[in-house]
Structure 1
Amino acid sequence: MSTGQGTGNGGRRIEVRHLRAFLAIADEGGVTRAATRLGVTQPVVSRTLAALERHLGVRLVDRSTHHLALTAEGLAFRDKAATAVAAFEEALDPGRLRHWPLRLGHAWSAFGPYTTPLLRTWQQRHPETPLELLRIDDRTAGLTRGEVDAALLRGPVDTPGLVTEVLFTEERVAAVAADGPLAARASLSLADLTGGAVVLNTVSGATTPALWPLHARPAATLTVANTDDWLTAIAAGRGSGVSGASTAQMHPHAGVTYVPLDDAPPLPVLLARRDGPGHPAFPRLAALAREIVAREQRTPPGNSIE
Structure 2
Amino acid sequence: MPIALRLCSVRMSIELRHLRCFLAIAEESSLTRAAARLHLTQPAVSRTLAALEQHLGARLVDRSTHHLALTAEGRAFQDRAAAALAAFEAAVDPARLRHRPLRLGHAWSAFGPYTTPLLRRWQREHPETPLELLRIDDRTAGLTRGEVDAALLRGAVDAPGLVTEELTTEERVAAVPADSPLAERPHLALHDLAGGTVVLNTVSGTTTLTLWPAGARPAATVTVANTDDWLTAIAAGRGVGVSSASTASLHPHPGVTYRPLPDAPPLPVVLAWRDAFPHPATGALVAMAREIVSGD
Range class of TM-score, shorter chain = 0.7 to 0.9
Q: What's the C-alpha RMSD, in Å, of the aligned pairs?
A: 3.7
Runs of 4+ in 1 over 2 A off after TM superposition: 69-86
Q: Which amino acid aligns with 1:182?
A: L
For 2:164 and 2:139, locate their aligned partners in 1 and report how far apart those are by CA, in whole Å: 14
Shift of 1:77: 4.1
For 2:88 and 2:238, locate their aligned partners in 1 and report how far apart those are by CA, in whole Å: 47
Q: Which residue of 2 aligns with 1:285?
A: 285
TM-score by length of 1: 0.70
Identity %: 67
Q: Deviations over 1:3-34 (max 9, x none)?
A: xxxx99xxxxxxxxx99x99xx8xxx9xxxxx
Q: Which residue of 1 aligns with 2:192?
A: 192
Q: Which residue of 2 aligns with 1:147?
A: 147
TM-score by length of 2: 0.72
For 1:288 and 1:97, locate their aligned partners in 2 and report how far apart those are by CA, in whole Å: 23
Contact 1:150 1:282 in 2 (8 A): yes
Q: Which residue of 1 aligns with 2:180?
A: 180
For 2:86 and 2:285, locate their aligned partners in 1 and report how far apart those are by CA, in whole Å: 17
Q: Which residue of 1 aligns with 2:43?
A: none
Unaligned runs of at least 5 residues, structure 2: 1-7, 10-14, 25-37, 40-47, 61-67, 69-74
Q: Which residue of 2 aligns with 1:32?
A: none
Shift of 1:181: 0.3
Q: Which residue of 1 aligns with 2:64?
A: none
Q: Which amino acid aligns with 2:81?
A: G
Q: Deviations over 1:171-214 (max 9, x none)?
A: 00000111110111111100000111010000100000000001
For 2:81 and 2:275, locate their aligned partners in 1 and report how far apart those are by CA, in whole Å: 14
Shift of 1:219: 2.4
Q: Does 1:159 align with 2:166?
A: no
Shift of 1:97: 3.5
Shift of 1:223: 0.6
Shift of 1:290: 0.6
Equivalence map 1:48-63=2 (5 Å): none
Q: Which residue of 2 aligns with 1:236?
A: 236
Shift of 1:74: 3.4
For 2:279 and 2:92, locate their aligned partners in 1 and report how far apart those are by CA, in whole Å: 11
Q: 1:74 aligns with which of 69, 81, 86?
A: 81
For 1:72 and 1:175, locate their aligned partners in 2 and report how far apart those are by CA, in whole Å: 33
Alpha carbons of 1:277 and 1:78: their partners in 2 closer, same or farther (altered >3 Å)? farther
Unaligned runs of at least 5 residues, structure 1: 1-6, 9-17, 30-41, 44-49, 90-94, 299-306
Alpha carbons of 1:280 and 1:174: their partners in 2 closer, same or farther (altered >3 Å)? same
1:192 alignment partner, SS class: helix
Q: Which residue of 1 aligns with 2:268?
A: 268
For 1:247 and 1:173, locate their aligned partners in 2 and report how far apart those are by CA, in whole Å: 8
1:214 alignment partner, SS class: coil
Q: Deviations over 1:245-277 (max 9, x none)?
A: 000011000111100002000000110111211
Alpha carbons of 1:250 and 1:126: their partners in 2 closer, same or farther (altered >3 Å)? same
